[in-house]
Amino acid sequence: MINFTQLVLASHNAGKLKELQAMLGESVQLRSIGEFSSVEPEETGLSFVENAILKARNAARISGLPALADDSGLAVDFLGGAPGIYSARYADGKGDAANNAKLLDVLKDVPEAERGAQFVCVLALVRHADDPLPILCEGLWHGRILTQASGEHGFGYDPLFWVPERDCSSAELSPADKNQISHRARAMDLLRQRLGLK
Ligand SMILES: O=P(O)(O)OP(=O)(O)OP(=O)(O)OC[C@H]1O[C@@H](n2cnc3c(O)ncnc32)[C@H](O)[C@@H]1O
Ligand SMILES: [Mg+2]
User: In testing the pocket of ligand 1, which one of 35, 39, 87 has its CB within 8 Å of the most ligand atoms?
Assistant: 87
Cβ 103 vs Cβ 35: under 8 Å: no
Ligand in nearest proximity to the CA of 48: 1
Tell me the average pLDDT across 3-32: 92
Residue 11 Cα to ligand 1 midpoint, Å, equals 9
Taking the centre of ligand 2 as the mean of its atom positions, its distance from the CA of residue 88, in whole angstroms, is 6
Residue at 132: amino acid letter: P
* CB-CB neighbours of 56 under 10 Å: 32
At 105-120, the pLDDT tens digits run: 999 999 999 999 999 9
Read off the pLDDT of each residue in 180-192 and give the average, rounded to a whole number. 97
Write out pLDDT tens, residues 88-105.
999 999 999 999 999 999
Helix axes 14-24, 183-194, angle to 10 degrees: 50
Count of positions (residues) in the chain: 198
